[in-house]
Structure formats: C-alpha cells, structure tokens
Structure 1
Amino acid sequence: MLDMFTQRRIVALMNGYVHEKVPAELRTMVKLTYEMQENELILTEERPAGQRYQWERMPIARFYWEGDQWKVFASDDQHSWSPADMVVPCSDFEDVLEQVERDDSGVFWRERD
C-alpha cells in the first residue's frame, strides 16, 4: 500500500493535471476525473450523456502500484483492462503519467463516439 505522503503527492499532481488538460471553455463538454484507492488510480474521461445532468464515463488508464513500480493498463471498448506494454513500468508516478500523456500509439487518447 502507498504511504500517505505519496498518496497526497499523487492527488495534488492529478488535480493539477485534470485542471490543465481540459481548457475551461470545453469543461461543459468533456472532463477528466480520477479515482484513487489504495494501490490503484483510474483516469476517466466524462462526456454529457443523453439525460440532462448525467455524464457518461469512459475509462482511459489504470495505474497500479505493484512490486515497487507503477504498471499501466489501457481500457478497451468493452471497458476491460489490458497491460499497456508501450508504457515502461517505473517507481515514479509522474513518469508513467507522462508516458500516458504522450501516447505515441493512440491507445489512451483515441477518438471516442
């Protein structure tokens, strides 16, 4: 399990990341959210659903702390997780988040219907 200092550091990093990733003028059409529980963080994109005030959630990436390193998984169209082999596991969360952000292969930041 991650220590409290590391958890708080990641929360502060993610709060800044989701705030900066989506420009203010687009936040009524798309937003990024995340959930952190014990050794896992799931990054999600949300868009307005058919019903008023409802948002459809689409998982983007799952970060999992195991064996002193972060491993990253990508979501497929059925919302199941597969290892993201293009992301090199490492002990620095910021490094794996940067690899997901770059997404040279288009696994995380793809066009969504």
Structure 2
Amino acid sequence: MRIECEHAPRHLTIVERRPPWREDLGPDWTSSAIARLRYNATDKSWTLYWADQHQRFHTYDRLPPSQGIEDLLTEIERDPTNIFWG
C-alpha cells in the first residue's frame, strides 16, 4: 500500500493506492481517495474534506479552515472520528 498526493490548481487529494491482488482484476493498482484539502484564494485558507464510499467529498466540519495545511494533515493523521482511515 502507498499513500500519495494528487494536486490540482486549487486542491490536494490524499489517496491510498493498493497493488493488484487478483490476477483476474488486471495489473493496475486501485486508488481510493482519503481526504481533500481545498484552497480558498479569497481568504487564503485551506478547508478539509472527507471522501465517502462513492468518492464524493464532504466538508469535514470538526475543524475550521486554516491558513496552513499542517493543522489539516495532523487531523487526518489523528483521525478522531475514523472517517479518513476507518
């Protein structure tokens, strides 16, 4: 398993990648979104989102937007609600 970060102009997405585990599913690694950090240029803040089972993102309302991403990364690592790592 690998944890990676995909980036776009206004957000970062943390993804979990797993190697192929059954030959009949093919040689590709699977990918599941864990969290998204979205940047708001107006107030220069980052907001944390969590991914549901359909890979749709929802605001994580237990943490306010932050000027830096460190607080958001710490919350993902702590995962007090088990919403990120299960």
Same fold (TM over 0.5): yes
Which amino acid counterpart does residue 98 of structure 1 have in structure 2? T
Q: Counterparts of 1:30-109 in structure 2 under 5 Å?
A: 30-49=1-20, 50=22, 51-66=25-40, 67-109=43-85
Q: Secondary structure at the match of 2:64?
A: coil
Q: Structure 1 residue runs of 4+, over 6 Å off?
A: none
1:49-71 deviation per Cα after TM superposition (whole angstroms, max 9, x unaligned): 33453111000001001131110
- Which protein has the bigger strand share? 2
Which amino acid counterpart does residue 36 of structure 2 have in structure 1? R
- Which protein has the bigger helix share? 1
Which amino acid counterpart does residue 66 of structure 2 have in structure 1? C
State how far apart, in whole Å, the 2-side matches of 1:53 and 1:34 are: 21
CA RMSD of aligned residues (A): 1.3
Unaligned runs of 5+ in 1: 1-29
Which amino acid counterpart does residue 3 of structure 2 have in structure 1? L
1:65-113 deviation per Cα after TM superposition (whole angstroms, max 9, x unaligned): 1131110110000110110112321101112111111110111011xxx
- Percent sequence identity is 26
Q: Relative contact order (alpha carbons < 8 A, sep ≥ 6): 1 or 2 greater?
A: 2
- Residue 24 of structure 1: aligned partner: none
State how far apart, in whole Å, the 2-side matches of 1:31 and 1:52 are: 18
Q: How many residues align?
A: 81
